[in-house]
Amino acid sequence: MKFFVRAIFILILTTEFNRAEANTLLNSLQSAYLNNSKLNAERASMRASKEEKKEAVSEFLPSITISGYNSSQDSFNSNLDDVNIDPKERSFLVEQKIFQGFGGVANLQKKRKGQKLSEFKLKKIEQEVLLDAAKAHTELLLNRQKVNINLTNVDLLERQVETDQNRLEKGEINLSDLAQSESSLAGAKAALIAAENDLITSVVNFKRIIGIKIIDQNIQEIPESNLNLPESLATAYKISKLENPDLQIAILEYEQSKLDVTIAGSELSPTATLSYKRAEQDNISSTVQERTQETVTATASWPLFAGGKNAFNFRKFQEIKNQKELLLENKKKIVEAEVANAWSNYQSSKSVLDSIKLQVKAAELASEGITLEYESGNNRTTLEVIQSRSILLNSRINLASTERNYLISQFNLLSSVGRLTAKQLNLKQ
């Protein structure tokens, strides 16, 4: 059959990418975790935040400066004597900030929270990438199943058309029965073309998200897997409050905004600095050849008025803190709703899957019985055979789609509580 040639083409399409690593769902997730450019970019951002924390620590350490100069001077006195001197100086300066209005301490705390913030942002991107990878893998598997189901349907309808042509010649059916079979065959071919196009699209999407160009063999069927899902909605709520990255990001941003208020307030506070300088000077003048100076300086300052800039800045960060607090309360409600929806979808998709499995079994029995009765010359009509096969086709496609939806609902539930991570999935890190 020419449509089996198409079947071979589709199999080649899904295996065109020889010598790759990803052929199971776990392999796809692993490849996306290691190779996804968006995730790698966020890893670089997290490393940068670590450097920012080190920079904040440096504010509490002393600064040491070594400097010097060498110059040449020509002097003329009233007696018209020419005096040439070459003054030189070598100095060593140590400065230590004693008090900064608690701004330095607040800035260090902010940078530490910034590092935690970057870790949760990385976790958020990690969850998004792994969820997209699971969707891409299961979509490719689903579309391949749809192609195979439609290929089987086309083959059955081709044989039915051949059978109906023979029966028409014998006078067992009329021309309208044959026309119904031919019409169904044309519709099945159109559905197959659509399924093939969906498969091509899913292959391209798979490459983009997973981060590889080739696969070793057909995407394998997904076995039963234990993803360690929460046992109840209450447990899911409890986990999400501690591990959901969106919620933790909102909490940390609010805490940072409070520290920004402290930092802005330090601009209105006094500051104190202690410094020590040792300078060695040579050939200072015609009468002084060498001199060593040691200076200890304690400096204190208090900005009383700076055009109102510091006061305006302080009030600005107070309003930003209020904003972050409101956003945090809103995020708590959003996360709670997302967890509830994910849990509900998981439970409902499981029930739907059980129902569809029963539907497929019933449709298979009905289609097989009606087809046997039709071919044995009983009173079954061509329309009944076509309808039974159409019901079976749709139920099988629904089963494949529902199986995918059930699996994705589990990944969505893990993502909503904050546990769709490489560690949770036992991926290599």
Q: What's the pLDDT band for 22 if we cut at 50, 70, 90?
A: very low
Identify the CA nearest to 228 among candidates 32, 403, 426, 30. Answer: 426
Least confident interval from 61-65, 144-148, 351-355: 61-65
CA 61 to chain centre: 38
Average pLDDT over residues 333-342: 97
Note the pLDDT of residue 214. Answer: 53
Q: What's the pLDDT band for 339 if we cut at 50, 70, 90?
A: very high
Identify the CA nearest to 360 among candidates 384, 387, 406, 391. Answer: 391
Give dist(CA 263, CA 107) in Å, integer.
7
Give dist(CA 367, CA 390) in Å, integer.
9
Between strands 82-85 and 88-99, the pairing is unpaired
Average pLDDT over residues 203-207: 89
pTM of this structure:
0.79
- Whether residue 212 contacts residue 21, with contact meaning beta carbons closer than 8 Å, is answered with yes
Note the pLDDT of residue 310. Answer: 74
Note the pLDDT of residue 109. Answer: 87
Note the pLDDT of residue 16. Answer: 46
What residue has token string 């893990």?
414
Q: What is the mean pLDDT of the chain?
A: 84
| % of the chain exceeding 70 in pLDDT | 87
Beta-carbon count within 10 A of 376 CB:
8
Which carries the bigger pLDDT value, residue 229 or residue 167?
229
Give dist(CA 373, CA 368) in Å, integer.
9
DSSP reduced 3-state for 108 = helix
Q: pLDDT (tens digit, 9 = 90+) per residue, 143-183? A: 999 999 999 999 988 988 998 888 888 887 788 888 988 99
What residue has token string 């070598």?
90
Which carries the bigger pLDDT value, residue 358 or residue 108?
358
- All structural domains of the chain: 22-61+100-268+303-417 (1.20.1600.10), 62-99+270-302 (2.20.200)
243: amino acid identity, one letter:
E
Q: pLDDT (tens digit, 9 = 90+) per residue, 384-428? A: 888 888 899 999 999 999 999 999 999 999 999 999 999 999 888
Note the pLDDT of residue 381. Answer: 83
Tokens of 174: 């009329």
Q: Which residues pair with 132 in a beta bridge?
A: none
